[in-house]
């Protein structure tokens, strides 16, 4: 099938076409450049992009399902990218291991896709920005990105999302870990899930105390939820709406999206550069430069400059 036909079907909201395009993006199809060119529009960034991250066990998938339901009540078409450390499902329309998501599997206005993180430190697949473009072209008004988890370097979701939601749960030591991992700096909204458990109020107090030490123009709200019962869903959506209003009024939304576009361009350029370097393994030019460095004729920086000139 021609790329133009596939994209036309995706724009009509056909799930199979959307799934196939995302698979082509994720697998680095030779037609990727053509796909991105066809997806270009004079009206980009129509979708709200909301990232959800948190340590394993805090209920990210359940919370994502809760938010899908809340946005569907507002008659929004919703896309979900769940970045998973394992291989992606080929079908792309259902996450079999995320039971909560199955509630929405038959809803034509919800598209759910699992993507492999491929070991990326930030918990996001390198193909995620392109997948976002596909979902936006398919008419998704809200796109939720659920990430692998939180760690020392797993904060790059903030560069993709308009709003970053950090999920915590009582009794998991998340407050201290959040401070260590720099999560306080990237969170736009905190959600304390499993708020019906002992220690929930203590977790909220700890977060408030930590936030009091951080100077930020936007002070992240802390929203308690019990996601498996849907409790707190409207409170979370209201907090997201308040943050969106702040972003638009302050000009921060435009700035974030410019940074996102810049990062995407840089990532594509670096990938192309890595591809060129991959072809140099066993290349005589590289061997000659290595010998000259070993012999003391060149320093490694000058050798690298010559290599860059050689590959153009």
Residue 14 CA to residue 5 CA, distance in Å, equals 12
Q: Tell me if the domain spanning 43-250 has CATH number 3.40.50.300.
A: yes
CATH 3.40.50.300 placement within the chain: 43-250
pLDDT (tens digit per residue) in 81-102 = 988 665 444 433 344 445 556 6
Query: What percentage of the chain reaches a pLDDT higher than 70?
Result: 82
pLDDT (tens digit per residue) in 230-287 = 999 999 999 999 999 999 999 999 999 998 889 888 888 887 888 777 777 667 888 8
Place of tokens 């008419």: 139
Q: Vertex 162, ends 157 and 165: CA angle to 5°?
A: 60
Q: CB 258: neighbour CB atoms within 10 A?
A: 10
pLDDT (tens digit per residue) in 293-311 = 999 999 999 999 988 887 7
pLDDT at res. 88? 45
The continuous run of DSSP H or E covering 163 comes out as strand 163-168
pLDDT (tens digit per residue) in 158-176 = 888 999 999 999 987 655 5
Query: What percentage of the chain reaches a pLDDT higher than 90?
Result: 51
What does each C-alpha distance from 130 to 11, 46, 116, 117, 286 come to in angstroms?
15, 15, 14, 14, 33
Residue 199 CA to residue 176 CA, distance in Å, equals 14
Residue 168 CA to residue 191 CA, distance in Å, equals 6
Distance of CA 303 to the CA centre of its chain: 37
Is pLDDT of 198 > 70?
yes
Average confidence score pLDDT of the chain: 84
């Amino acid at each position: 099938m021609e790329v133009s036909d596939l994209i036309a079907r995706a724009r009509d909201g056909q799930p199979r076409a959307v799934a196939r395009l995302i698979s082509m993006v994720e697998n680095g199809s030779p037609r990727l450049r053509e796909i991105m060119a066809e997806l270009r529009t004079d009206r980009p960034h129509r979708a709200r992009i909301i990232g959800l991250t948190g340590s394993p066990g805090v209920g990210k998938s359940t919370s994502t399902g809760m938010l899908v339901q809340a946005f569907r009540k507002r008659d929004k078409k919703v896309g979900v990218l769940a970045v998973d450390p394992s291989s992606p499902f080929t079908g792309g329309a259902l996450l079999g291991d995320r039971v909560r998501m199955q509630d929405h599997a038959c809803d034509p206005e919800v598209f759910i896709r699992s993507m492999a993180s491929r070991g990326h430190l930030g918990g996001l697949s390198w193909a995620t920005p392109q997948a976002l473009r596909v979902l936006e072209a398919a008419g998704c008004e809200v796109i939720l990105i659920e990430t692998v988890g939180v760690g020392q370097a797993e904060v790059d979701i903030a560069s993709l999302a308009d709003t970053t939601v950090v999920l915590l749960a009582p009794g998991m030591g998340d407050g201290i870990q959040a401070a260590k991992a720099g999560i306080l700096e990237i969170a736009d909204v905190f959600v304390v899930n499993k708020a019906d458990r002992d220690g929930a109020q203590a977790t909220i107090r700890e977060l408030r105390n930590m936030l009091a030490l951080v100077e930020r123009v936007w002070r992240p709200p802390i929203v308690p939820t019990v996601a498996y019962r849907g409790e707190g869903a409207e409170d979370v959506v209201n907090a997201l709406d308040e943050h969106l209003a702040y972003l638009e009024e302050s000009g921060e939304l435009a700035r974030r999206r410019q940074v996102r576009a810049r990062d995407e361009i840089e990532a594509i350029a670096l990938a192309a550069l890595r591809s060129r370097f991959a072809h140099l393994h066993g290349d005589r030019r590289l061997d000659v430069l290595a010998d000259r460095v070993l012999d003391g004729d060149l320093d490694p920086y000058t050798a690298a400059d010559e290599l860059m000139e050689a590959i153009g």
